[in-house]
Amino acid sequence: MKRRGNLYAAILAGALSLFPVATVPAERTGRTVGTTAGASSATDNAAGTTAAGPAAEQDGKLRNGNATGRTGMTEDRTGMTEDRTGAAGAAEQSGTIRSGTESAAQKRPKTKPAVRDSLRRNDRSGGIAPPSFAPECDGKRPRRLTHRIGAEFRPEHIFTINPFLRGENLAQLPVDLSLAAHLKYSFRFRPGSPADRTYGGVYQGFGIAYYDFANPQELGNPVAAYLFQGARIARLSRRLSLDYEWNFGLSFGWKPYDRDDNRLNTMMGSKINAFLNVNFFLRWMLTRELDLTFGPTLTHFSNGNTKIPNAGLNSAGIGAGLTYNFGRERAEIPQRTPAPEFRRHFSYDLVLFGSWCSKGVEVGDVLYASPDTYPVVGFNFSALYNFGYKFRAGLSLDGVYDGSANVYVPDRIAELGGGAPLEFARPTIDRQLALGLSGRAEFVMPYFTIGLGLGMNVLHKGGDLKAFYQTLTLKVGITRNAFAHIGYSLRDFHMPNFLMLGIGYRFNNKYPRHY
């Protein structure tokens, strides 16, 4: 009787497999799934093998169902070793639909709720929908940076503070107009990111510029290559903001003073000069990609007292430009989310620098330029308190060896009608060493830090080193703590001192990492 019962169960399973069963999720109805699962379980127990499960029923493959029935009947005729287990399984499945349902649920792999919801949508629509846990269909990820290119035109008025600029030149005309064309590339942090919120939409990049002073014979038409950085000062409306920007770099192609070929140019003494510029402008968003900028600009050229003459060229004017933003998807709106919290702390900067300079020596009422160049070596050790993301201030200990300090012309008796050149003498080294103390303030932005300093030498032997000095510095980040240092020193706000080119390292740096 047991063997006959197994045979009837196998025949019943084969007959059921000839009729396709509609795919209905288990959550919607359990009767059909339970009945089918019970029959499948009975067939498995009778045949000792795994028959087609719920996946085969959902696919509706008739061939697999027929093969399962035939396999069950054949194995039953040849004799099965697990008759007792098969009969018990058939009795259990025939006795209750709930038991069959539980058996089918055990066989079916566990499905996450998100996938079940997706399967329900597939059943209702007949289509294929991506699971809800899959990434977005477009596959885009938020970009860390956005990129921009821009072009500007800057007409500027030149301040004619030098005789050459006032008209003592070959053309006998004042040199008072500067025209410049700029091409720039920049990048900024993704709008709304922590760095973008903290630093007011800061951007940075590099640019090139071509200058025309309407006197190519004596001044040339220099080309400038520079780094720049800017940010928003205030947002005036959804599409209008007030911004600032600084430029710093080198300019090439000047025609400098030459005693034989260009003796009237008493303004520039070198072919390469530093280029400094600052702008304040309105930025108006014309379209989704295009911005218009318009505002005042100030420019300075000089060689940092590395060669005489070094009167420099200063100008002021108006700049206008267009900027194209790649991939900007919407108008920038005010970010009202506060910046991440900043932990105030002390940090310590050690800077080593060196350069060279020229020297002019007064003899009577006349200033004579020394033909030599003199080395400069020094250090700064600053203790600065970091008040927030953008500002730190403190004190600095400044040591310097200035090879041009206290250089003099020895007294001599000039022969009547003699034209011998002047001799320039150097003092002992102790009259060229000084140790000073200065107050420092730094404006901190990503990658760049601009610093100002006011100080006095406290240990020195007098002469040129008894001075009130000022410093302007730019620190360019190399690693998290190391940086390149570019600076310039003045005396009494107008006398050129020397360049400060070097490297530095920051100790106890606790700034959060936002970029």
Mean pLDDT of the 448-453 span: 98
Give me the chain's average pLDDT, please.
79
* pLDDT of residue 258 exceeding 60: yes
pLDDT band at 201 (very low <50, low <70, confident <90, very high): very high
* pLDDT of residue 333 exceeding 70: no
pLDDT band at 412 (very low <50, low <70, confident <90, very high): low
Q: So what's the pLDDT on residue 194? A: 86
User: Percentage of the chain surpassing pLDDT 70?
Assistant: 69
Query: So where are the chain's domains?
Result: 144-326, 345-410+422-507
pLDDT band at 327 (very low <50, low <70, confident <90, very high): confident
pLDDT 10s digits, 470-490? 999 999 999 999 999 999 999
Phi, psi values for residue 211, rounded to 5°: -115, 140
* pLDDT of residue 413 exceeding 70: no
Phi, psi values for residue 79, rounded to 5°: 100, 125
Calpha distance 353→348 (Å, rounded): 16
* pLDDT of residue 407 exceeding 60: yes
Residue indicated by tokens 């379980």:
41
234 SS3 class: strand
Mean pLDDT of the 199-207 span: 95
pLDDT 10s digits, 158-182? 999 999 999 999 999 999 999 999 9
Calpha distance 274→268 (Å, rounded): 11
Nearest residue to 165 (alpha-carbon basis) of 215, 208, 201, 115: 215
User: Residue 374 has which token pair?
Assistant: 């003199």
* pLDDT of residue 296 exceeding 60: yes
DSSP 256: -
Q: Other CB atoms closer than 10 Å to residue 387's CB: what's the count?
A: 13
* pLDDT of residue 9 exceeding 60: no
Mean pLDDT of the 60-71 span: 42
What single letter denotes the amino acid at residue 71? T
Q: So what's the pLDDT on residue 366? A: 81
Q: So what's the pLDDT on residue 7? A: 52
DSSP per residue, 279-348:
EEEEEEE-SSSEEEEEEEEEEEEE-TTSSS-B--EEEEEEEEEEEEETT--S------SPPPP---EEEE
78-103 as b/e: b if 16+ CB within 10 A: eebeebeebbebbebbbeebebbbeb
Mean pLDDT of the 82-94 span: 43
Higher pLDDT, 508 or 420: 508
Q: Work out whether the CA dihedral 206, 145, 331, 339 comes out positive or negative.
A: negative
Q: So what's the pLDDT on residue 338? A: 67
Q: Other CB atoms closer than 10 Å to residue 475's CB: what's the count?
A: 22
Work out whether strand 345-357 and strand 374-386 pair parallel, antiparallel, or are unpaired: antiparallel
Calpha distance 189→199 (Å, rounded): 10
Domains 144-326 and 345-410+422-507 belong to one CATH topology: yes
Calpha distance 255→239 (Å, rounded): 44
Q: Report, at the CATH architecture level, how domain 144-326 is classified.
A: Beta Barrel (2.40)
Higher pLDDT, 19 or 410: 410
360 SS3 class: strand
Provide the CATH number for the domain formed by 345-410+422-507 in this structure. Answer: 2.40.160.20
| C-alpha gyration radius of the chain | 42
